[in-house]
């Protein structure tokens, strides 16, 4: 039984070594504040932006950016919140 567990563990480790992450091909639209919004990609894929865009207006994006700073501890300056939220609302906001 112990040998079987060791074989399964070794197989799991070998399989995990062959898994590769998919890099995002998504690029943010040009516009004022894009450089600040690029900071979001330090913690997660930028693909999340268009996935959430149909739900969020400026207030929603502001709340999201603040949540990333306050809850998720994102390394984003508080002075960038309005710039990022404005960019996201303008380019990806709920219409």
pTM of the model: 0.73
pLDDT reading at 3 higher than 90: no
Listing DSSP states for 38-72 in one string gives GGGGGTS-TTHHHHHHTT--HHHHHHHHHHHHHTS
69-88 in b/e form (b: 16+ CB < 10 A) is: beeeebebeeebbebbbbbb
pLDDT in tens, 24-64: 578 999 999 999 999 999 999 999 999 888 889 999 999 99
% pLDDT > 70, the chain: 75
pLDDT reading at 16 higher than 70: no
Query: What pLDDT is recorded for position 5?
Result: 47
Q: What is the CATH number of domain 24-92?
A: 1.10.760.10
| Residue keyed to tokens 């890099």 | 23
Average pLDDT over residues 11-19: 44
In the chain, where the domains are located: 24-92
Helix axes 81-92, 58-70, angle to 10 degrees: 140
């Amino acid at each position: 039984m112990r040998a079987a567990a060791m074989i399964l563990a070794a197989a799991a480790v070998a399989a995990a070594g062959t898994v590769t992450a998919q890099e995002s091909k998504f690029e943010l639209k040009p516009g004022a504040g894009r450089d600040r919004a690029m900071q979001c990609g330090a913690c997660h894929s930028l693909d999340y932006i268009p996935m959430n865009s149909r739900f969020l207006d400026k207030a929603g994006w502001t709340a999201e950016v603040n949540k990333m700073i306050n809850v998720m501890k994102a390394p984003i300056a508080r002075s960038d919140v309005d710039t990022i939220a404005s960019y996201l609302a303008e380019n990806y906001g709920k219409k």
